[in-house]
């Protein structure tokens, strides 16, 4: 089914818990500009929804999300990259999903399958993470010739320590159990039970007086935003999205071939 036949983001509410589903399964829920815009709209809807106190972010199909849509975003013409300050359109920046809010309601990422690149950032920004035991995470920026500084900062913010450095520098996959052992995620559940477990956790949170819950979320997000903004500033100054190595890595990914030797420029 094409992207235009069905909403790219689905929204529903049950027992005061909203479920926001990334719905581009034919592309492994890769974030292009349209998916990002609809996700931003869904988060704004949740923020103002009087029927919802907690949100679950999840993905349709085989995975949570494979990250950024390389074809659209990372192979943009250089001129567009320079105008926008990076691969994402100015009105479609996934970095705005969780750090800007009015009511500061808690968000749980219920993840499965692949959680790569941009998507690992969304999960780590969430207040809680419930993972299917088959989940695989990866900081893809390093092998793509981009800076993994933002993801290192988010991993470290969650207490990743030296593990954050290792997975950022190597770009290797790591699983749900390993992430749980180093306190990066909150719960690991059997395959296929991640959304149900997140729903139960959300309902438990929703039983509490909302103002106290939201104040704790606001404080966490404020600290997170400071960490994130400093990392984003450093990444922006590096301008690695304009390098030859980045372009070659992105082309190789799309063309399904090994990249040519990197040149450090």
- Residue 234: per-residue pLDDT: 76
Distances (CA, A) of 228 to 7, 45, 162, 263: 29, 24, 19, 29
CA-CA-CA-CA torsion sign (109, 198, 19, 101):
negative
Long-range contacts of 226-233 (CB under 8 A, 24+ apart): 227/153, 227/154, 227/157, 228/95, 228/99, 228/125, 228/150, 228/153, 228/154, 230/153, 231/149, 231/150, 231/152, 231/153, 231/154, 232/95, 232/150
Distance (Å, rounded) from C-alpha 196 to C-alpha 56?
10
Instruction: Please report which helix (H) or strand (E) contains residue 215, including its range.
Output: helix 210-238
| Domain range summary for the chain, segments of one domain joined by + | 3-193+206-254
Written as one string, the DSSP assignment of 101-143 is: -SS---EEEEE-SEEETHHHHHHHHSSEEEEETT-EEE-TTTT
Greater confidence, 81 or 68? 68
Give the pLDDT mean for 153-169.
94
pLDDT attached to residue 1:
40
Amino acid 76: pLDDT: 62
Write down the pTM of the prediction. Answer: 0.88
Which range in 72-76, 139-143, 211-215, 246-250 is most confidently predicted, on average pLDDT?
211-215
Q: Kindly indicate the confidence band of residue 2, based on its pLDDT and cuts at 50, 70 and 90.
A: very low
What band does 74 get if pLDDT is binned at 50, 70 and 90?
low
Query: Chain centroid to CA 171: how far?
Result: 16
Can you read off the two tokens belonging to residue 119?
């998507």
Q: Is 73 left (phi over 0), alpha (psi -120 to 50) or beta?
A: alpha
Over residues 185-207, mean pLDDT: 98
Give the pLDDT of residue 139.
95
Average pLDDT over residues 89-96: 73
CATH topology of domain 3-193+206-254: 2-enoyl-CoA Hydratase; Chain A, domain 1 (3.90.226)
């Amino acid at each position: 089914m094409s992207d235009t036949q069905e909403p790219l983001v689905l929204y529903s509410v049950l027992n005061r818990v909203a479920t926001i589903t990334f719905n581009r399964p034919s592309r492994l829920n890769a974030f292009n500009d349209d998916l990002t815009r609809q996700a931003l709209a869904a988060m704004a809807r949740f923020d103002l929804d009087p029927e919802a106190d907690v949100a679950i972010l999840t993905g349709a199909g085989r995975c949570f999300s494979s990250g950024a849509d390389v074809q659209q975003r990372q192979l943009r013409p250089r001129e567009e990259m320079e105008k926008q300050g990076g691969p994402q359109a100015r009105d479609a920046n996934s970095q705005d999903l969780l750090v800007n809010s009015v009511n500061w309601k808690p968000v749980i990422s219920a993840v499965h399958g692949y959680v790569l690149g941009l998507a690992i950032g969304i999960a780590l920004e969430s207040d809680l993470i419930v993972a299917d035991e088959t989940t695989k995470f990866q900081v893809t920026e390093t092998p793509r010739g981009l800076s993994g500084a933002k993801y290192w900062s988010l991993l470290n913010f969650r207490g990743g320590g030296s593990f954050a450095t290792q997975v950022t520098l190597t770009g290797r996959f790591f699983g749900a159990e390993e992430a749980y052992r180093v306190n990066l995620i909150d719960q690991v559940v059997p395959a296929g039970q991640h959304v149900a477990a997140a729903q139960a956790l959300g309902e438990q949170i929703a039983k509490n007086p909302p103002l106290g819950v939201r104040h704790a979320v606001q404080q966490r997000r404020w600290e997170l935003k400071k960490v994130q903004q400093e990392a984003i500033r450093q990444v922006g100054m590096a301008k690695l999205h304009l390098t030859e190595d980045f372009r070659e890595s992105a082309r190789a990914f799309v063309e399904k071939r090994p990249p040519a030797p990197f040149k450090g420029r």
